[in-house]
Structure 1
Amino acid sequence: MSGTFLAFAVLSLLTIGGAVFMISFTRVVHMVISLGITFLSIAGLFVLLEAEFVAVSQVLIYSGAISILMLFGIMLTRHDAADEAISKANKGWLSFLAVAVFFLIVFWAIQNTPWGATPGSTAASQADNVVQLGTEIFTKFVIPFELTSVLLLVALVGAIILAKKEGDKE
């Protein structure tokens, strides 16, 4: 048993556990914390895949910005404890069944996929993947990149305006 396998096992358990806790908890703040744990462990899995840039982006964008944005939205809206209490009678079994089916499909796909070395994948070509990614994003995909940032900004402003209007009615 190598250290990489042990790190993968721990990170994958954290990822799956955080996702399961996220759908199991009834309080929204606990859900966001579980989601943050899931995002951080996914970033750790990216580090194991030697995709450091994607891991750092995962931490900055998802673990940081999205989680803070979700907490900000929660703070702006009203939540009643009675509204958050959802019937859990069939929710647990249905969630378990969905996760089990998804696991079996992913396991089957991984077992039946030929994982050969890609042509031209050497250590030198993997070392400058950040340069290649940056060049692609800021040359070919600069317009979609900027449109995505504007869309996220408009969504944030819209959420603030909607939350303010709900608070002004009372």
Structure 2
Amino acid sequence: MEKIIFYCLAAVIIAFGIASVTSRKMLRSVIYLSFVLISIAGIFFLIDYNFLAAIQLTVYAGGIVVLIIFSVLLVHHIEMELEMAKASKKIVTAIACLIGLAVFLTAIYSYDFEVINNSITTTTAEIGAGLLSYTAGGFILPFEVISVLLLAAMIGAIVIAKGKKLTENNNQSQ
């Protein structure tokens, strides 16, 4: 049964991933992306990585998708149509993806995975303490850097989008 669920989730991820990058409507692309991220959380739940699944749902499927939708709505481009790439760019992108896939598969199949039977489990409290720890092995600095980076990316996107609109409005009024 788990195998069937996995293949269904994988099919949803592939289908909506392709739909997300090929859709010309911005809002539809974001919705398709949310289906991909929710399906990835489903795979995490399936392999009993509940903490990662919860993070996937809250941060990515919740926060990032809402941030993108908010940015799209803020600049009033709900029905914005994305331009289609030229055939040469599509071919270069496909070749780059195939090279990346080859490197990925080579790395995976060349690594000797060993199953470790460990009775020690990590609790959510220990993960949270490690994420917010200032000591060696703590992740508070990368956590804060990513927060600032996301904020800067959102502000940059808004400034770029509003800058075009403001320039167009000033040219029309003169």
| TM-score using structure 2 length | 0.73
- What is the correspondence of 1:116-131 to structure 2 with a 5 Å cutoff? 116-118=114-116, 121-122=118-119, 125-126=120-121, 128-131=122-125
- Mean Cα displacement is larger for which, 95-104 or 5-14? 95-104
User: Is contact 1:43–1:59 with CA below 8 Å preserved after alignment?
Assistant: yes
Partner of 1:14: 12
Q: How far has the Cα of 1:20 moved from its partner?
A: 1.2
Unaligned runs of 5+ in 1: none
How many residue pairs get aligned? The number is 164
Within the candidate set 58, 73, 76, 1:75 is matched to 73
SS of equivalent to 2:84: coil
Runs of 4+ in 1 over 4 A off after TM superposition: 78-83, 87-113
State which of 101, 122, 126 in structure 2 corresponds to 1:132: 126
**Runs of 5+ in structure 2 lacking a partner?**
170-174
- What is the Cα-based RMSD across aligned positions, in Å? 3.1
Which residue does 2:145 correspond to in 1? 147
How far apart are the structure 1 equivalents of 2:60 and 2:22? 20
**Distance between the aligned counterparts of 2:90 and 2:145, measured in 1?**
39
> Offset at 1:113?
4.7
Identity of aligned residues (%): 27
Change (3 A) 1:83 1:52: closer
Q: Is the 8 A contact 2:26 2:78 kept in 1?
A: no
* Separation of aligned partners in 1, 2:95 and 2:73: 33
Tell me what 2:172 maps to.
none
2:2 is matched with 4
Deviation at 1:117, TM superposition (A): 1.2
